[in-house]
């Protein structure tokens, strides 16, 4: 007998190198859910308040439940899928079992008291199997006295799920998504009496957020709300949120922006390409050993190097100038904030909070940059629409997030996207 029901899959597949001709991977937690309980048919869910903050690479999730036990005393055993790292889906099966870990920041409070979670292997998991399965759970036990009502608060960080496919010089990927399985609540006694879901576009573009049940939500300015009563969820009621539809494909130097990806094929997309540029800065940090964190580091398509300003202060007023190798249209600017060689260096150094951006020495405009350590993605913002070709882009530090150890402000990488007037001719991959 399985320890817990498997209405939801939580699996993290790590990014790995592709085969020479093709390959792919998945990463992130496939889905998450309300409690997945065992032996609690008598306990009722009086209310559920779910709040989801959408960030660039993950969602922060907070849930509040009011649970009532109308019968005799019982101990509720609930499980959340643990995050598991595995290899490339096209690679041979791993020789060692994956090492599970708790969801980042996982916390459960029952009436204000913390209840620890324990990792437990799934009895039905197949050792060495490289497919999508639950290897383990982190489990909590919550006792209920006869007739007791308890208030439960749960919070954790949920990496988005994303699939990537590659053949030769062509790749495509799905939109990052979060699935919240309301269907798991069907195991409790009766319906969910009252419920509210609040979704906040914290650092993602609200215009790119999509819901699989859009008519249920009402919202504006990046906050959506859905309220319900006497809700008896089925699998069809599971909530799926996609957070971005940019750069979903690549072929021969061109990127697909938007559109839809299905079975590795991108359709109905706009296309763009990277614009080549050089970078100079008003100041540069030089280490005692002679290492210089120069402006060119933002143009090397890497996250292990960074431009670090060289002033004694926090770097407010220092700037970096991007000069296009060939003047062209530039629609979007992508930034990897901070020194991202490691999480420790990111936290130790300052990060940019606000930039003053000017194009071709024109009037500057402000861009607020989120304080998020990005392993794979960029923070993107649009340049003002203009028919003029872009020659230079100046990014001036206007405000910073303070580092824990150093006062130096860093930017690790910058990309510039040039929109294409028409779809490029794409030959099928071999």
| Whether 392 and 351 share a structural domain | yes
- Cα–Cα distance measured from residue 26 to residue 131, given in angstroms and rounded to the nearest whole number: 11
Distance, in Å, from the CA atom of 397 to the CA atom of 395, rounded to the nearest integer, reads 7
Report pLDDT for 38.
58
**242 vs 130, residue with greater confidence:** 242
Mean pLDDT of 201-219: 93
Write out the two tokens for 54: 């959408």
Range of the domain at 296: 275-419
- Tell whether 176 and 131 lie within a shared domain: yes
| Residue that the structure tokens 């960030």 belong to | 55
With 0-12 / 13-18 / 19 or more C-beta atoms within 10 angstroms meaning exposed / middle / buried, residue 116 is exposed
More confident residue, 82 or 66: 66
Q: Would 261 be classed as within a structural domain?
A: no
CB 341 within 8 A of CB 291: no
CB 259 within 8 A of CB 267: yes
Q: What is the CATH number of the domain that holds 162?
A: 2.60.40.3680
Mean pLDDT of the chain: 80
Q: What is the pLDDT of residue 258?
A: 61
206 and 154 together in one domain: yes
CATH number at residue 302: 2.60.120.260
352 and 292: one domain? yes
pLDDT by residue (tens digit) across 92-111? 555 555 566 677 888 999 99
Same domain, 97 and 169: yes
How does DSSP classify residue 39?
A: S
Question: Of 217, 242, 267, which residue sits at a domain end?
Answer: 242
The pLDDT of residue 10 is 26
Q: Could you give the CA distance from residue 135 to residue 118 in angstroms, rounded to a whole number?
A: 14
Average pLDDT over residues 293-297: 96
pLDDT of 134: 53
Measured distance CA(240)–CA(402) in Å, rounded: 35
Same domain, 102 and 217: yes
The total domain count for the chain is 2
Alpha-carbon distance 265 to 429, whole Å? Answer: 11
- Kindly state whether residues 202 and 285 are assigned to the same domain: no
Enumerate the H helices of 92-159 as residue ranges.
none
Range in 17-26, 45-54, 214-223 with the lowest mean pLDDT: 17-26
256: in domain: no
Whether 266 is covered by a domain: the verdict is no
- Asked whether the beta carbons of 339 and 352 are under 8 A apart, the reply is no
pLDDT exceeds 60 at position 284: yes
Q: Does one domain contain both 325 and 379?
A: yes
Q: Are residues 361 and 408 in the same domain?
A: yes
Rg (CA), the chain: 24
Dihedral sign, Cα of residue 125, residue 131, residue 133, residue 138: positive
* 430, part of any domain: no
Q: Is residue 3 part of a domain?
A: no
Place of tokens 């709300």: 225
- 27 vs 369, residue with greater confidence: 369
Mean pLDDT of 166-191: 76
Instruction: Say if residue 98 is in the same domain as residue 161.
Output: yes
| Residue 120 predicted with pLDDT over 80 | no
Q: Are residues 218 and 82 in the same domain?
A: yes
Tokens linked to 311: 């002033």
pLDDT confidence tier of residue 124, bands split at 50, 70 and 90: very low
Of 387 and 121, the one with more pLDDT: 387
Q: Which long-range contacts (CB under 8 A, 24 or more apart) does 94-102 make?
A: 94/128, 94/130, 95/128, 97/127, 97/128, 97/135, 98/135, 100/135, 100/136, 102/138
Tokens found for residue 163: 């699939």
Specify whether 306 is located in the same domain as 223.
no
Q: Does 264 fall in a domain?
A: no
Question: How many Å apart are CA 57 and CA 48, to the nearest integer?
Answer: 25
218, 242, 266: which is the final residue of a domain? 242
Read off the DSSP letter of residue 346: H
Residue 11: pLDDT band (50, 70, 90) is: very low
Q: Which residue has the tokens 């999508």?
A: 132
**In-domain check, residue 181:** yes
Is position 259 within any domain?
Answer: no
Q: Which of 198, 218, 242 is the last residue of a domain?
A: 242
CA angle 116, 233, 191 (to 5 degrees): 80
Burial 190-223 (b: 16+ CB within 10 A, else e): ebbbbbebbbbbbbbbeebbebeeeeebebeebe
Would you state the pLDDT for residue 82? 66
């Amino acid at each position: 007998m399985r320890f817990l029901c498997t209405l939801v899959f939580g699996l993290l597949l790590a990014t790995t190198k592709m085969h020479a001709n093709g390959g792919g991977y998945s990463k992130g937690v496939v889905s998450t859910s309300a409690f997945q309980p065992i032996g609690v048919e008598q306990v009722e869910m009086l209310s559920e308040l779910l709040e989801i903050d959408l960030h660039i690479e993950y969602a922060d999730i907070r849930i509040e439940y009011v649970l009532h036990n109308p019968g005799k005393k019982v101990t509720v055993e609930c499980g959340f899928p643990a995050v598991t790292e595995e290899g490339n889906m096209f690679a041979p099966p791993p020789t060692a079992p994956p090492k599970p870990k708790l969801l980042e920041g996982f916390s459960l409070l029952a009436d204000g008291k913390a209840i620890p979670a324990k990792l437990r292997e799934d009895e039905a998991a197949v050792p060495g199997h490289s497919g999508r399965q639950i290897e383990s759970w982190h489990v909590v036990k919550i006792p209920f006295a006869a007739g007791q009502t308890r208030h439960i608060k749960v919070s954790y960080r949920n990496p988005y799920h994303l699939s990537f496919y590659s053949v030769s010089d062509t790749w495509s990927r799905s939109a990052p998504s979060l699935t919240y399985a309301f269907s798991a609540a069907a195991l409790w006694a009766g319906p969910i009496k009252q419920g509210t879901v609040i979704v906040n576009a914290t650092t993602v573009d609200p215009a790119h957020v999509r819901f699989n049940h859009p008519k249920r939500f009402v919202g504006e300015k990046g906050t959506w709300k859905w309220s319900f009563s006497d809700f008896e969820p089925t699998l069809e009621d599971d909530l799926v949120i996609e957070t971005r539809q940019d750069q979903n494909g690549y072929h021969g130097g061109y990127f697909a922006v938007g559109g839809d990806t299905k079975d590795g094929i991108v359709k109905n997309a706009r296309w763009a390409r990277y614009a080549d540029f050089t970078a100079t800065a008003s100041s540069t940090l030089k280490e005692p050993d002679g290492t210089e964190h120069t402006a060119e580091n933002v143009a090397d398509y890497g996250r292990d190097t960074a431009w670090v300003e060289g002033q004694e202060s926090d770097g407010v007023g220092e700037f970096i100038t991007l000069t296009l190798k060939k003047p062209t249209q530039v629609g979007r600017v992508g930034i990897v904030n901070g020194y991202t060689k490691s999480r420790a260096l990111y936290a130790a150094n300052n990060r940019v909070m606000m930039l003053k951006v000017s194009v071709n020495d024109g009037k500057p405009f402000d861009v607020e940059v989120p304080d998020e350590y990005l392993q794979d993605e960029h923070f993107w913002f649009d340049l003002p629409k203009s028919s003029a070709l872009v020659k230079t882009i100046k990014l001036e530090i206007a405000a910073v997030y303070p580092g824990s150890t150093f006062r130096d402000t860093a930017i690790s990488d910058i990309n510039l996207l040039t929109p294409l007037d028409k779809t490029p001719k794409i030959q099928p991959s071999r």
